[in-house]
A = this chain, B = another copy of it.
């Protein structure tokens, strides 16, 4: 703005020209204004993420290639079969020096052009083995966003004695938040939250049958926990749990 005013005072531009230039500048600032608070992902370190479900293969490839210049992209809910179909078309990224990682259990593909430095710890616990894919999704997101992750899988409440050691180990290693992934009756977060004083994030999974089919029983049980202070994600939303945990850790452990 200074420049414009200077030019005006210098007689380099007319009052009309100055007004127009200021207006144009202003519009650009207006747009910036709306954008200004949206650099969230950059600051938290969570890379651009693409949800593969509901997009066809062509769309998906196009979007991934489009985002590639950001240097760090995640594709979630990408089944192995689909990955096999599109990976050849993505080889061009490797030629550009980008690294491609695919994790089958988590159904995640990562594209990155740099090593991720890790900072601050997150614990992830699952009740059963079938809950692991959701937990792995959370783990990868958290690691790609620069957090260290400790996992204890398959330690449900039906055999509660196995749980104590795992919880203690996590607390000793100073995790800042614990993600608890559980399907079926979703009781595990209640028990964990009764034992620790770090934030507990519950992730219900669609593991179950009969009344438990679809994951609503686990979801509701976590929301209605008698242990206060459990925050809950959508069913099978490992991705969201990872992002949420990162927003906590990043505030404590700024690099």
How many angstroms between the C-alpha atoms of A26 and B252 in the bound complex? 36
Contact of A221 among B26, B164, B186 (CB under 8 A): B186
Structural contact, A224 and B185, CB atoms closer than 8 A: yes
Structural contact, A184 and B231, CB atoms closer than 8 A: no
Structural contact, A128 and B37, CB atoms closer than 8 A: no
Which residues of chain B come closer than 8 Å to A114, judged between CB atoms?
Answer: none
Which residues of chain B come closer than 8 Å to A235, judged between CB atoms?
Answer: 209-211, 223
Interface: A207 (CB within 8 A): yes
Which residues of chain B come closer than 8 Å to A40, judged between CB atoms?
Answer: 193-197
Structural contact, A196 and B37, CB atoms closer than 8 A: yes
Interface: A119 (CB within 8 A): no
Interface: A215 (CB within 8 A): yes
Interface: A248 (CB within 8 A): yes
List residues of A whose CB falls within 8 A of some B CB.
1-2, 5-6, 8-9, 15, 18-19, 22-23, 26, 29-31, 33-35, 37-40, 43-44, 46, 49, 53-55, 59, 63, 127-130, 156-161, 164-165, 167-168, 171, 176-177, 184-187, 190-191, 193-201, 204, 206-217, 219-237, 239-241, 243-244, 246-248, 250-252
- Could you name 19 residue pairs across A and B whose Cβ atoms are closer than 8 Å? A8-B8, A22-B22, A26-B29, A30-B33, A31-B161, A33-B33, A37-B171, A43-B197, A46-B228, A157-B157, A184-B224, A187-B226, A208-B224, A210-B237, A212-B220, A212-B223, A219-B223, A229-B244, A230-B244
